[in-house]
A = this chain, B = another copy of it.
Amino acid sequence: MEVTTIGQFSLVYNVFSFTVATMAAATLFFWINRSQVAPEYRTAITITGLVTFIALYHYWRIFQSWGAAYDIDLVAGTISASTTYAYNEAYRYVDWLLTVPLLLIELILVMRLSKEETIKKGTTLALLAAAMIILGYPGEIATSDGQRWLWGILSMIPFLIIVYQLFVGLSKAIDAQPAEAKGLIKLARNLTVAAWFFYPVVYFLPLIVPLEGGTPKAIIEVGYSAADIVAKALFGVLIYQIAVRKSEAQGYQPQ
């Protein structure tokens, strides 16, 4: 799939630039403001910033790759795919392989469960997330529909286990959170699941409806970027707010 008009190309190009700026700003916010939360929440905030930093790196590569992958003739008003440089779809998967396990770990860390539970739940969720991404990739680069269905469905198995873990496995731990933070933690959990449902929709879309012309490609790239901003930067702001509320509740005063 490729975009076919300069307008589609420019829209995606500008959305990528917006995403780079958003991820950079989010990263700096988390790291600069890290001392506003009590020491026991700082590892969660460090990792929140790592997630947006890793996304910043990959969106920068995606942005550069997108610019190099098309040749534009402004006089004729035409656009064509480059013959020497392909848009690199793999950056998204490489990014997710690092960031999705870390996202789940930051949610577990900000809850401050017991050491055993933190290690157990953090490891389980991180490994499930890695399995989900690794199983999805062969389908993404497959040339046949059958292969895309197969790997997509396999990838949905760890996906659904993660959703189940977040809603059922974590419900007792969420209920035990202090009142000031409980609502925000539920919101962060629900936001994760809602943003995540966008990814399988995009993944299976080309199998269900015939996608022609450049519009679907533009929609997919803009959609993935929006979902990444919600699942990483906005989710990170919620994690930060949870850490601030819990720090205040236990009487922490930033120095």
Contact = CB atoms under 8 A, between A and B. Distances in A.
Interface of A: 10, 13-14, 17-18, 20-22, 24-25, 28-29, 31-34, 36, 39-40, 42-43, 46-47, 49-50, 53-54, 57-58, 61, 71-75, 81-86, 88, 90-91, 94-95, 97-98, 253-255
A21 to B, nearest CB: 5
A24 B57 contact: yes
A178 B42 CA distance: 26
A25 B21 CA distance: 18
A61 B25 contact: no
Given A90-B14, A91-B17, A98 B50 contact: no
Contact of A18 (B82, B88, B97): B97
Contact of A254 (B39, B61, B94): B39
A71 B85 CA distance: 10
B29 A61 contact: no
A71 to B, nearest CB: 8
Closest 4 CB pairs of A and B: A39-B254, A14-B90, A18-B94, A75-B83
A211 to B, nearest CB: 21
A71 B81 CA distance: 17
| Count of this chain's copies in the oligomeric assembly | 2
Contacts of A83: 73-75
B33 A43 contact: yes
Given A22-B98, A24-B53, 12 more contacts: A10-B88, A10-B90, A14-B88, A17-B61, A17-B94, A24-B54, A24-B57, A28-B53, A29-B46, A36-B43, A71-B84, A74-B84
A17 B33 CA distance: 29
B21 A58 contact: yes
A218 B172 CA distance: 47
A46 B24 contact: no
A220 B77 CA distance: 26
A72 B69 CA distance: 13
